[in-house]
Amino acid sequence: MHKIPVTIITGFLGAGKTTLIRHLLQNNQGRRIAVLVNEFGEVGIDGEILKSCQVCDEEETETNIIELANGCLCCTVQEEFLPTMQELLKRQDAIDSILIETSGLALPKPLVQAFRWPEIRTKATVDGVITVVDSEALANGQLVGDLEALEKQRQADETLEHETPIEELFEDQLACADLVLLTKGDRIDRESQNRVQQWLKQELTPGVQVVSCQQGKIYPDILLGFNAAVEDHLDSRPSHHDQEEEHEHDDDINAVHLVLDPVKDSASLVNQLKAIAQQLEIYRIKGFIAVANKPMRMVVQGVGNRFDTFFDRPWKADEPRQTQLVFIGRSLNQEQIATSLQSETMALNR
């Protein structure tokens, strides 16, 4: 059975999570997205902000799920997570993906573990965890811009362990991340931006990218489609509680599309893709590989230094058997990538 991919968006109050989701809803590119938002009284994330994203209808269902005019859904959670998630999964035929915006103070790993529950695991999987970080606060030696507001939010949520230091919460958010979005870079100088990015990269698991994002504007394909199945690999994401970029805008983020001849050795091609991903600022690689003398189409998906491949279906009689790849990154040069891969393809076919 097809599982709905779920993206968890975590980060402290004021980091820019809601702004990010609003932009994604307004630029969903035809995706039917369901957004699940945690709310805690007056100091939590306000669902009205998302409802004002200019794609929402006025009507609200009895299950507190808002119907959006562009085919998306929005709902809020004030009590238990499971009943609300089950209501969303009843609509799985009308949903392409789900975004969960955490309260910012809840540890991300326990939320991921919920996707191991029998009621959820057969219908949904955690596609990836996005951690949103306030670069202005970090540049000023803080983890959050408004500590007083954060503490008020913390005290309002009775489900939290209030003795957990803010520093540990932040470290757990980073440890669970598949991608870190760095916001508010336009408020600090370039030197401070570089310093913050370098510090973050030292704190992250190798291969996890740090991407600047202003006003929530970022290429949607960078956020969706990690295929990480996070709930199955939690041991690789350490937590304190287990036992209990330089650019100011994403204008220069681009996608390069390449079409190549079939290859005899797909493993060697994937190794070449890994090498290119390390040489250039590439955030995602995805596409199909045509393997010579193979009737099946091979899917390839790469994030950081992790690449996955699998055969998904036979080639159709009326479609060309070509390798088709998409590279998403910063200031990518199509000719440069094409020259490298075409020479590799020729070498593999000799």
Burial class (CB in 10 A: 0-12, 13-18, 19+), 61: exposed
- Model confidence pTM above 0.85: no
Largest pairwise CA distance in the chain: 66
Low-confidence ranges of the chain (pLDDT < 50): 39-49, 54-62, 78, 162-163, 245-250, 347-348
Euclidean distance between CA atoms 201 and 130, whole angstroms: 15
Euclidean distance between CA atoms 315 and 350, whole angstroms: 23
Which residue is it, tokens 């980073």?
174
Q: Give me the pLDDT at residue 73, please.
A: 63
Two structure tokens written together for 6: 């779920």
Q: Give me the pLDDT at residue 319, please.
A: 85
Q: How many CB atoms lie within 10 A of CB 14?
A: 21
- 349: phi > 0 → left, psi -120 to 50 → alpha, else beta; which? alpha
144-196 confidence digits (pLDDT tens): 665 565 566 556 655 555 445 778 888 999 999 999 999 988 888 999 999 99
> What are the backbone angles phi and psi of residue 291, rounded to the nearest 5°?
-100, 125
Calculate the alpha carbon distances from 232 to 115, 184, 244, 320 in Å: 9, 33, 19, 36
132-142 confidence digits (pLDDT tens): 999 988 888 88
Two structure tokens written together for 303: 């994030």
Strand ranges, E, within the chain: 4-10, 33-38, 56-60, 65-68, 73-77, 97-101, 124-134, 179-183, 209-212, 253-260, 282-289, 296-303, 306-314, 323-330
| CATH numbers and ranges of domains, the chain | 4-236 (3.40.50.300), 253-348 (3.30.1220.10)
Q: Which helix (H) or strand (E) holds 83?
A: helix 81-89
Two structure tokens written together for 123: 């219908």
198-207 confidence digits (pLDDT tens): 999 888 988 8
Which residue is it, tokens 């269902």?
61
